[in-house]
Amino acid sequence: MPLVCVGCLDSLTVGVLVAPDSLTSTLGGQMTFSHIAARFTPRAVAAALATGVACSAFALVSPGAGLPSAAAADCSDVDIVFARGTGELPGLGFVGRPFASELTSRLSGYSVSTYAVDYAANSSQTSAGPGATDMSNHIREVASACPSTRFVIGGYSQGATVTDIAVGIRTGSSSGQPIAAQDEPRVAAVVVFGNPLGLQRRTIAEASPTYGDRSKDYCGTADSVCGRYQANVSGGHTSYPSNGATDQGAAFAANLVRSSAPTPTPTPTGTSTPTPTPTPTPDECVTDSTADHVDAGRATSFFGRAYAVGSRDSLGFVSRFVVVSLQRTDATTWERVATC
């Protein structure tokens, strides 16, 4: 039987050989590298390889053995689960990154982890349902392994629709699995940006009797994607990192986490609290490919084209071969310039 090497991903120094049919049977016939990487954490692989041998030696997982669960990973006090917008590269996205960063800084004394919802974020919007299922499955997996972990969930644009479906709102775009009933009390806050639900003249607070009192929709005054419904911040659909919405959303979520929180896990003796990354100095200028600008958070990808964060200057197609210069004009704004 052919075997697949898992665990040599993401610069791990150890690996696991897994029979392909065990992967597909374990995960309902759908297996991606992100699924594998999410389950084969460094800690889980290290536990499997008791001899400590590198990728030249492997643990064998038989078809009936199953995959390591989230119990193999460290449990955090708070897990931020966020779905990126349409056309963005996999990850938290250009709205999710500053939101998670600000929320983490506001939860000093708590251990905080993040999870980027694994879904296609396609232009047809049909991937929102599968995204909701991935969000719900992740929460179920972590909740079952980590009894004290609570969740802050959210998304941007189509990622907001992912969140709508996960909290049980019918959107009409696609269907997916909602968060399990036993996990609902573990969700401390729901924060979304540019939610297409606004086109139906609804917010999560209005549409969900279960999650409404712990939810917040942010919609810009010029954002047609959310229908400008109950607009509470300025700007259009790509303005949320620069118009204060991500900071406001983080403050909202942090207050809910703290108001209902058990005592956070103390920092172990002798271990210093990580120092937040300092805000880059304004007037910083970077010349790089549009793809690298997107990866670094200086630009966002929308339908395959790159736009500077804050200024929304058009940078052309997202590519490793299209090179442009961006200059930072304030803490959250980049503008296209001719040269650095």
pLDDT digits (tens, 9 = 90+) for 47-101: 443 333 333 333 333 333 333 444 434 899 999 999 999 999 999 999 999 999 9
215 and 328 assigned to the same domain: no
Catalytic residue, from 127, 173, 237, 242: name it.
Answer: 237
- Kindly state whether residue 266 falls inside one of the protein's structural domains: no
Region 280-288: mean pLDDT is 74
* pLDDT at site 71: 44
- Number of structural domains, the chain? 3
- Kindly state whether residue 39 falls inside one of the protein's structural domains: yes
Query: What domain range includes position 134?
Result: 78-259
* pLDDT at site 319: 87
33 and 96 assigned to the same domain: no
Whichever domain contains 134, its CATH number is 3.40.50.1820
Region 291-307: mean pLDDT is 83
135 and 158 assigned to the same domain: yes
Q: How confident is the model at residue 39 (pLDDT cuts 50, 70, 90)?
A: very low
117 and 193 assigned to the same domain: yes
Indicate if the pLDDT at residue 286 is higher than 80. yes
140 and 62 assigned to the same domain: no
- Kindly state whether residue 60 falls inside one of the protein's structural domains: yes
Q: Which long-range contacts (CB under 8 A, 24 or more apart) does 6-12 make?
A: 6/36, 6/40, 7/40, 7/45, 7/55, 8/55, 9/33, 9/36, 9/37, 9/40, 10/37, 12/40, 12/42, 12/45
Whole-number percent of the chain with pLDDT over 70: 71
116 and 151 assigned to the same domain: yes
* pLDDT at site 266: 55
10 and 91 assigned to the same domain: no
40 and 84 assigned to the same domain: no
Catalytic residue, from 223, 242, 288, 301: name it.
Answer: 223
182 and 57 assigned to the same domain: no
Give the chain's end-to-end CA distance (angstroms, integer): 55
Residue 157 annotated among the catalytic residues of the structure: yes
The more confidently predicted of residues 92 and 18 is 92
Q: Which domain-ending residue is among 54, 71, 88? A: 71
Q: Which domain-ending residue is among 71, 103, 130? A: 71
The answer to which of 185-199, 221-235, 261-275, 293-307 has the lowest mean pLDDT is 261-275
Residue 213 annotated among the catalytic residues of the structure: no
The more confidently predicted of residues 312 and 229 is 229
Catalytic residue, from 76, 157, 174, 239: name it.
Answer: 157
* pLDDT at site 115: 97
Indicate if the pLDDT at residue 104 is higher than 90. yes
- Kindly state whether residue 84 falls inside one of the protein's structural domains: yes
Residue 223 annotated among the catalytic residues of the structure: yes
The more confidently predicted of residues 86 and 267 is 86
- Kindly state whether residue 92 falls inside one of the protein's structural domains: yes
143 and 61 assigned to the same domain: no
* pLDDT at site 282: 54
* pLDDT at site 332: 76
* Pairing, β 215-218 against β 305-308: unpaired
145 and 246 assigned to the same domain: yes
Indicate if the pLDDT at residue 331 is higher than 60. yes
242 and 303 assigned to the same domain: no
Indicate if the pLDDT at residue 114 is higher than 80. yes
- Kindly state whether residue 269 falls inside one of the protein's structural domains: no
- Kindly state whether residue 177 falls inside one of the protein's structural domains: yes
- Kindly state whether residue 273 falls inside one of the protein's structural domains: no
